[in-house]
Structure 1
């Protein structure tokens, strides 16, 4: 399988083509309108790479050429029977089988102690504030999408999942920040972990 056809964007594009044939520019516009750019990276280069890979696999095929005004003609793609089967099989496998993912935060938080007690609490509080802002934005975007009446809830169901996960993360981050600030989270003797620690801003001020 072509590497680009394994990109998460491939699933999103095939999902759109399950609805109706589209040209790549329309695919990108619909994905952004539905907030899919929160779960898949959408840019011109990657989108056209994935479209070419899907066509190379025989999963999509050109079905028409359309011209709008003075713009160049655009190729409209449709999902093939083989593409539909591949799409359904991939979805079924991905939904049934949880996979361990490795977000950047998971790696960073493993070394939380390197920030020092005050630095760790400060960093966690800042993350919590940014999470709250992002959650509020995503909630508003989801409300607006559903209120328009043009987007069925099932088409944005992943936005609900993302919000649920973000709220859970916010709750955890706030709880750990509270434990760090109150001293209820056991901390290495001397306030620094072994193996070399990054001094907190508080430590730097004390040394000056």
Structure 2
């Protein structure tokens, strides 16, 4: 991957979805929408086709065939290259520990299953340390405000953020525990067969 290339969240999701099977852009868009990934990034036809073209230019995916269904336009099918797989993993490793880029973190979390279980645990531990630092900073600020008789009406946003941070730490601790004790199935190999793209398509095409 060229050094100057920076993957967008949509690009990450496209590449990660291609790990399951080769697909054409329309199929990618349909599958992402079925999984409600439009909660995380806008899924517009033009943007998806443009992103796929850029990823092909950057050597992260490649054409593997063209097919036609009846009178519909030809559809080009793409496959994920090793460079694309590595790019997704690298992006997740950078974004998953972060606490200051919430939109990117949500995408990294949704695609974290592309990393090994133990790697995700380690990255979440890094993120927890940052969360705890932020919790401590908010508590210290609130304590200072109380000592200095700052009117509470000026502090409601800080109080809210402190509460959200506490909840975030508690939620993440629960996720980490389930990953560590292996009670949470993890990785592409552990996706139930009826939810895989290959199985879904075969059912759709069965008479």
- Determine which structure has more spread, i.e. the larger CA radius of gyration: 1
Higher relative contact order (CA 8 A, sep 6+): 1
